Chains A and B, each alone.
Chain A
Amino acid sequence: MADGIGALAPTPLAPFDPAAFRAEFPILARQIHGRPLVYLDNAASAQKPHAVIAAMTEAMTQSYANVHRGIHTLANETTQRFEAARASIARFLNAPAPENIVFTRGSTEAINLVANGFAEFIQPGDEILLTEMEHHSNIVPWHFLRERHGAVLRWAPVRDDGALDMEAFARLLSPRTKLVAVTHMSNVLGTVTDAAAIAALAHDVGAAVLFDGSQAAVHLPVNVRAIDADFYVATGHKLYGPSGIGFLYGKAEWLTCLRPYQGGGEMIESVAQDRITYAEPPHKFEAGTPPILEAIGLGAAIEQLRALDRPGALTHEEALYARAADGLRSIPGAKIIGEAPCKGAILAFTLDGAHAHDIAQILDKYGVAIRAGQHCAEPLMRRFGVTSSARASFAPYNTFEEVDAFLDALGRARKLLS
């Protein structure tokens, strides 16, 4: 990478070592109901490495004050760390500058921020194009624009294998389309969407494009400039960072023209009784004292990821997924939801005659943590004609032994329920 801040990316990279990576996560040594924890709910939230715990602890024990307004040493140190986290995220996404990164509470707030700012550009009848596989957090904020501003929501269909139907997607675009909001990786199907192609098609009709990178940013290298995203959102707690922190990447022109989301301290340049001047982005979107410790923790998580051999980690995840999917296929009555050619290590499934909640509850007794339910994706559940599904989602710290423990527990659950 020759240009911009991406050139600062480290060039180190010992080959991915699953055992060494796993050892960074102290919680994985826990026992649940007398058995070793098998944590396969990573798509809901990932566990935290020593680096994050240490960074937050150090901040609290050594160097903490409010950011941006203090003159004293602690305020300066804390501000530096806080802004260093922003710069880490910018490098992580290959954003042009740290100023393209707005700290939010998570992906949900980031999308709400964009929807809120976009409201004034929406005329009744303007269209927002989503897909059937969006998480509710990338649906409900757009419903606000439908309810309050007359926007029309369009839904690009998902094929039977879980891939986005790109032909139908292209047909749904028109000059009426103002915004396209699409997941970069489905939290249920694991489907990875072709972000660059989606952005190019959206831009052809003059629409802006937002990617929900809540899952994708965890597993894939993201280059917001290569895909030409107008907005890209992700959340810290899935990226091995703390909860309560996430981010919005926005192109400079968008962050300049969107109006502030919330008002308060930190986001203003000057306040008078009859007028107000806002701070420059990103600060104009960060009203009030931000989640300082969480941002520092996220910065540590991102730096750890940037120092990781991510292609190696991805290969490991794919192997875990393949073993789990193969094992599942050999269980009578089991059905995988989402087998798109390009997908991440998320395994959603149903088992004939067994409710997903029963499966998850029984698996818990064997120490295996999976998710069951609608996964905050009701339109997608309806698309596949199920009321709920079980989901095992993998991280690079998972092991093949854990996959086998999961399959073994699933076999026992099936026996108990049949």
Chain B
Amino acid sequence: MASLTAAQPEVMAHLRDAFSLMEDWEERYAYVIDLGRELPAMAPDLKTDANKVRGCASQVWLNAQVEDGRLRLTGDSDAHIVRGLVAIVTQLYNGLPIAEAAAFDPKGFFDDIGLSEALSTQRANGLAAMIARIRAMAS
């Protein structure tokens, strides 16, 4: 396994650029769905009840491991759009020192780039539940 490095600034810059270039929701959804397709597969034995994120309308699993004080996240969902959201949050948090992960709240960033706007209330709540789960796991 490659050593963990935080790529958060690059990931944020990339997402911001990508979203700013996309005109309509169809492109944004297609992009999010594509991110989900590129999400590394989660080991089936990690899809446990304990790793299930409550508060999501569809099934979402997140697993966090700490390596050298840094967070390593894997996750999955049975819904395409949500798998894309899992990809986004795992990219944002992966490799962060756990103290930074616990402190980091990307909600303002999501609002800023127009991701929140693209989601239904239910989905936005699910995204918030994922973030809360990751920050709790890092605390």
Contact = CB atoms under 8 A, between A and B. Distances in A.
Interface of A: 33, 354-355, 357-358, 361-362, 364-365, 372-373, 387-388, 416-417
A416 B26 contact: yes
A372 B79 CA distance: 12
B26 A358 contact: no
B110 interface: no
Given A373-B57, A387-B59, A416-B33, A361 B26 contact: no
B25 A357 contact: no
B75 to A, nearest CB: 15
Contact of B58 (A355, A365, A416): A355
Closest 6 CB pairs of A and B: A355-B79, A357-B58, A358-B80, A357-B79, A358-B81, A358-B79
B79 to A, nearest CB: 3
Interface of B: 25-26, 29-30, 33, 57-59, 77-82, 119-120, 122-123
B42 to A, nearest CB: 16
A357 B33 contact: no
B61 to A, nearest CB: 13
Contacts of B57: 357, 372-373
Given A358-B80, A358-B81, 18 more contacts: A354-B80, A355-B77, A355-B80, A357-B122, A357-B123, A358-B79, A358-B82, A364-B120, A365-B26, A365-B29, A373-B57, A387-B59, A388-B58, A416-B26, A416-B29, A416-B30, A416-B33, A417-B80
A361 B78 contact: no
B32 to A, nearest CB: 10
A354 B77 CA distance: 12
Nearest to B30: A416
A149 B9 CA distance: 59
Contacts of B80: 354-355, 358, 417
Chain B's interface: helix, strand, loop or mixed, by majority? helix
B26 A357 contact: no
A377 to B, nearest CB: 15
Nearest to A33: B25
B95 to A, nearest CB: 29
Given A416-B26, A416-B30, A417-B33, A361 B58 contact: no
A393 to B, nearest CB: 18
Contacts of B123: 357, 361
A416 B25 CA distance: 11
A98 to B, nearest CB: 40
Contacts of A354: 80
B130 to A, nearest CB: 15
A354 to B, nearest CB: 7
A366 to B, nearest CB: 10
18 contacts: A354-B80, A357-B57, A357-B79, A357-B81, A357-B122, A357-B123, A358-B82, A361-B119, A362-B29, A365-B25, A365-B26, A373-B57, A387-B78, A416-B29, A416-B30, A416-B33, A417-B33, A417-B80
Nearest to B28: A365
Contacts of A372: 57
A40 B77 CA distance: 26
Contacts of A358: 79-82
Contacts of B81: 355, 357-358, 361
A33 B33 CA distance: 20
Contacts of A355: 58, 77-82
Contacts of B58: 355, 357, 388
Contacts of B82: 355, 357-358
Nearest to B120: A361
A364 B119 CA distance: 10
A372 B59 CA distance: 13
A327 B17 CA distance: 39
Contacts of A33: 25
A33 B28 CA distance: 15
Most chain A CB neighbours (cut-off 10 Å) among B77, B80, B82: B80
A387 B119 CA distance: 22
